[in-house]
């Protein structure tokens, strides 16, 4: 079964129509009173009742808090399997059958695909008034063209996690640029051949590196997709990491492998260039590193013009067919912006807010014993405001990332070149999109 069928992609005609409606340079994105279910929302019975499908820890408590805070809307939370494990398939099948929930938790990397399938409701007429409450890149992540499909919930701004004990022991400066990062890799290895600067990156973790460098994989131009996975900007990123592989400064253990956690704990892997939520991952599975690690800003290509990548994050999306889209938006915005509710999401789900005002929450000001008693979220607060807002996910990311990983995994192991992996992924993506009748330029 091919990837488009597996992920519930609509027919080519539906895709083309959806893309034409949502592409940059199209209409205003504001539905007419005669055609949108939003038109009926003002006369909907009170209280409005709607269902929310999701899986993040703490969501059920936030729903209870919302219901207790007002009497006009009643939200019912139903926990479903995480997106790639069945949740997205459930949503898409339900939309097609006409019995979907009003709201669904949808990752940013998947939202564009949902939009291209016509599986989401445009709520821009309600949402645009709240745009200024969110960091720019997060807001852009819930848009296609002028249409807005939900509220950004959390983000994954990237930074440099580094073994402070190792850097101090070998008198290595914390790198602020990628040139300095490579120098640090060489100096650490010269001091102890067992120390590797980093481990291999794949799929969305690798995408964050491209994102930072201003090397997009996709854009929408008029009524057509532009695929640029193997652009010159992307090859610059690939060639840089290839040089670290060629210098034998990259560990063999892939991220999230038991050997990776062991390396982080015992000092044989010196850094991780990763998202804010990965702090919880390494604290939980690399306990031996406690007190040894710290966090610094992401190394830069151009120190005078800092830019940061993002890995992860999701939206509370309004699914197609929702009969109360205005009420759905009101709840979605509450989930993302209410301080008390979001404090609960930080404590239970380790989410990092997409709303600007919540970057000052007290839960984000604590010292962390694992990271040398550093207030690590002070770093991520600044990083979140530097994330490059110019990034668009493609219409079938599972295929793109699978093809890319096929080549990258070989390259990290020394059996190929990363630039070739980009070209192969680009070709496969364009061919797949073309076969589905999607307008695409390479």
**Whole-number Å distance between alpha carbons of 104 and 87:** 9
Q: Which residues of 422-441 are buried (b: 16+ CB within 10 A; e: fewer)?
A: bbbbbebbbebbeebebbbe
**Whole-number Å distance between alpha carbons of 54 and 64:** 14
Whether 158-309+391-441 and 3-155+313-364 are alike in CATH topology: the answer is: yes
Residue 4 is predicted with a pLDDT of 25
Please identify, in words, the CATH class of the domain defined by 158-309+391-441.
alpha beta
List the structure tokens of 153: 């919930």
List the structure tokens of 99: 């019995």
> In the 3-class helix/strand/coil scheme, how is 137-202 assigned residue by residue?
HHHHCCEECCEECEEECECCEEEEEEEHHHHHHCCCCCCCEHHHHHHHHHHHHHHCCCCECECCCC
Please identify, in words, the CATH class of the domain defined by 3-155+313-364.
alpha beta
Residue 222 is predicted with a pLDDT of 85
Domain-by-domain residue ranges, the chain? Answer: 3-155+313-364, 158-309+391-441
Q: pLDDT tens-digit profile of 320-357?
A: 999 999 999 999 999 999 999 999 999 998 899 999 99
Residue 5 is predicted with a pLDDT of 24
> Which residues, in sequence order, are CB contacts of 224 under 8 Å at separation 6+?
23, 439, 440, 441
Q: Are 352 and 137 in contact, with CB atoms under 8 Å apart?
A: no
The alpha helices in 55-159, defined as continuous H runs, are: 59-69, 87-97, 108-116, 124-127, 136-140
Question: In the chain, which stretches have pLDDT less than 50?
Answer: 1-44
Helix H or strand E segment including 400:
helix 397-412
Residue 163 is predicted with a pLDDT of 98
Helix H or strand E segment including 408:
helix 397-412
- Hey, how many other C-beta atoms are within 10 angstroms of the C-beta on 153? 32
């Amino acid at each position: 079964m091919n990837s488009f069928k597996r992920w519930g992609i609509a027919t080519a005609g539906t895709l083309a129509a959806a893309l034409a409606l949502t592409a940059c340079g199209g209409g205003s994105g504001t539905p007419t009173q005669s055609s949108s279910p939003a038109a009926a929302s003002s006369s909907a019975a009170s209280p409005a009742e709607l269902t929310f499908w999701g899986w993040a820890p703490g969501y059920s408590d936030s729903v209870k808090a919302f219901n207790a805070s007002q009497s006009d809307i009643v939200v019912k939370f139903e926990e479903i399997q995480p997106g790639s494990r069945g949740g997205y398939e459930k949503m898409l099948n339900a939309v097609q059958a006409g019995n979907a929930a009003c709201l669904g938790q949808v990752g940013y990397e998947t939202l564009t695909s949902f939009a291209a399938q016509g599986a989401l409701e445009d709520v821009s007429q309600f949402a645009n008034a709240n745009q200024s409450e969110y960091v720019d890149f997060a807001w852009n992540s819930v848009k296609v063209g002028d249409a807005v499909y939900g509220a950004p919930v959390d983000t994954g701004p990237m930074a440099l996690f580094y073994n402070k004990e190792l850097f101090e022991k070998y008198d290595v400066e914390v790198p602020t640029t990628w040139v300095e990062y490579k120098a640090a890799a060489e100096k650490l290895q010269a001091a102890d051949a067992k120390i590797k600067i980093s481990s291999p990156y794949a799929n969305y973790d690798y995408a964050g590196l491209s994102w930072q460098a201003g090397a997009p994989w996709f854009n929408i131009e008029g009524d057509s997709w532009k695929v640029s996975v193997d652009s010159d900007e992307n090859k610059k990123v690939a060639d840089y990491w290839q040089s670290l592989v060629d210098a034998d400064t990259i560990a063999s253990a892939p991220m999230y492998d038991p050997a990776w956690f062991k390396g982080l704990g015992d000092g044989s892997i010196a850094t991780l260039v990763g998202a804010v939520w990965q702090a919880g991952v390494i604290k939980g599975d690399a306990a031996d590193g406690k007190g040894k690690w710290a966090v610094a800003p992401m190394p830069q290509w151009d120190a005078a013009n800092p830019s940061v990548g993002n890995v992860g994050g999701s939206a509370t999306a309004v699914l197609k067919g929702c009969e109360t889209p205005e009420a759905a938006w009101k709840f979605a915005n509450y989930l993302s912006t209410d301080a008390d509710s979001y404090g609960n999401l930080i404590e239970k789900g380790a989410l990092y807010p997409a709303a600007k005002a919540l970057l000052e929450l007290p839960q984000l000001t604590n010292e962390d014993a694992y990271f040398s008693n550093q207030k690590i979220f002070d770093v991520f607060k600044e990083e979140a405001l530097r994330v490059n807002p110019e990034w668009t996910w493609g219409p079938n990311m599972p295929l793109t990332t699978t093809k890319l990983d096929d080549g990258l995994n070989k390259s990290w192991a020394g059996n190929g070149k990363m630039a070739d992996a980009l070209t192969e992924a680009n070709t496969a993506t364009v061919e797949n999109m073309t076969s589905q009748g999607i307008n695409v330029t390479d």
